[in-house]
Amino acid sequence: MVYLVLEETTEAQARAQIETNFFGLLWITQAILPIMREQKSGHIIQVSSVLGLITMPALGLYNASKHAVNGMSETLAAEVAAFGIKVSIIEPNGFSTDWSSASAFHTEPNEIYKPLRKEVADSTLPEFWGRPENTVAAFLDLLDNANPPLHFLLGKIAYPAVKQVYEARLSEFEEWKDTAVNAHGSW
């Protein structure tokens, strides 16, 4: 697996990650929208990641690019619903693909992050990786559904991971709610 610690990432690498994962998706989406609006129907499937909902250390730019995909896609869903266009964001956990090998860029590792890399590597068990060939039925269910979900978690790791992180976030929001509300001021 390739780990890309934020401090190690060059400007060119960061721009390439955002250009590919976010801007590439945006330009393709803009190209298809006039056709779908004219036909008053369509289903846009955006490929994001569970890391568009939660994060993992040493994948900062990837996390950021997928969070951008999710934010854009959620906004898009609200903007195009009146035209009969549906949007689904596929948010898979890790799958056994070429994602982190030949198609990935590599940073120049800083030794200070060696313990972090080892911790992340040790926490990524073999059963974390789903099998791409097993996703066919799930994709067909999504495509055939008259009411497809906006968020489509894929894999057995995605749901429990997102649930754990979101429960912790809600707890933190609750803990700081009074301070946050008081910061609003009164009119």
- Per-residue pLDDT tens for 62-73? 999 999 999 999
Asked if the structure places residue 28 within a domain, the reply is yes
pLDDT above 60 (res 26)? yes
**Which candidate, 28, 9, 14, 11, places its Cα nearest to that of 72?**
28
The torsion region of residue 92 among left (phi > 0), alpha (psi -120 to 50) and beta comes to beta
Catalytic residue among 3, 49, 65, 66: 66
* Cα(30)–Cα(93) distance, integer angstroms: 27
pLDDT above 80 (res 96)? no
Domain that holds residue 39: 6-181
How many domains is the chain built from? Answer: 1
Asked if the structure places residue 1 within a domain, the reply is no
Tell me, yes or no, if 103 is annotated catalytic. Answer: no
Asked if the structure places residue 17 within a domain, the reply is yes
The CATH number linked to 62 is 3.40.50.720
pLDDT above 60 (res 168)? yes
Asked if the structure places residue 106 within a domain, the reply is yes
Asked if the structure places residue 74 within a domain, the reply is yes
Asked if the structure places residue 76 within a domain, the reply is yes
**2: its two tokens:** 């390739």
Tell me, yes or no, if 101 is annotated catalytic. Answer: no
pLDDT at 3: 64
Asked if the structure places residue 186 within a domain, the reply is no
Tell me, yes or no, if 48 is annotated catalytic. Answer: yes
